[in-house]
Amino acid sequence: MKDQYGRTIDYLRISITDACNLRCRYCMPESSSGCGMEGAGKEPLLSVEEILKLVHAATSLGITHYRITGGEPLVRKECVELVQKMKAVPGVSSVGITTNGVRLAECAEKLKQAGCDSVNVSLDTVDTAEFAALTGRDALEQVKNGICAAKEAGLFVKLNAVHRKELHALELAAFAEQMKVPVRFIEMMPVGAGKSYVGPSNEVLKKELEQWYGARTPDLSRKGNGPAIYETYEKLSIPVGFISAIHGKFCRNCNRVRLTSRGFLKLCLCYENGVDLREVLQNETVEKLEKVIAQAIWNKPMEHCFERPKDMTEHHLMSGIGG
Ligand code: SAM
Ligand code: SF4
Q: Distance between CA 34 and CA 317 in Å, rounded?
A: 10
Tell me the C-alpha distance between 72 and 43, whole Å.
Answer: 18
pTM given for the model? 0.95
Identify the burial level of 53 via C-beta atoms within 10 angstroms of its C-beta, where 0-12 means exposed, 13-18 middle and 19 or more buried. buried
CB-based contact 322:260 (threshold 8 Å) = yes
**Distance from C-alpha of 275 to C-alpha of 254, rounded to nearest angstrom:** 19
Substitution candidate for ligand 2 out of 26, 69, 100, 140 with most atoms within 8 A of CB: 100
- Output phi, psi for 99, to 5 deg: -140, 155
Report the alpha-carbon distance of residue 255 to residue 252 in Å, rounded. 9
Model pLDDT, residue 107: 98
Q: How far is the CA of 247 from the centre of ligand 1 (A)?
A: 18
CA–centroid distance, 164 to ligand 2, in Å, is 15
Q: What is the pLDDT along the chain (323 residues), one digit of tens a residue?
A: 999 999 999 999 999 999 999 999 999 998 876 554 444 456 899 999 999 999 999 999 999 999 999 999 999 999 999 999 999 999 999 999 999 999 999 999 999 999 999 999 999 999 999 999 999 999 999 999 999 999 999 999 999 999 999 999 999 999 999 999 999 999 999 998 998 998 889 999 999 999 999 999 999 886 677 899 999 999 999 999 999 998 888 999 999 999 999 999 999 999 988 999 999 999 999 999 999 999 999 999 999 988 888 888 888 888 888 88
Q: What SS3 string covers 138-191?
A: CCHHHHHHHHHHHHHCCCCEEEEEEECCCCCHHHHHHHHHHHCCCEEEEECCCC
Q: Which of 122, 258, 316 to mutate to test the pocket of ligand 2 (most atoms within 8 A of CB)?
A: 122
Q: Which CATH superfamily is domain 11-321 in?
A: Aldolase class I (3.20.20.70)
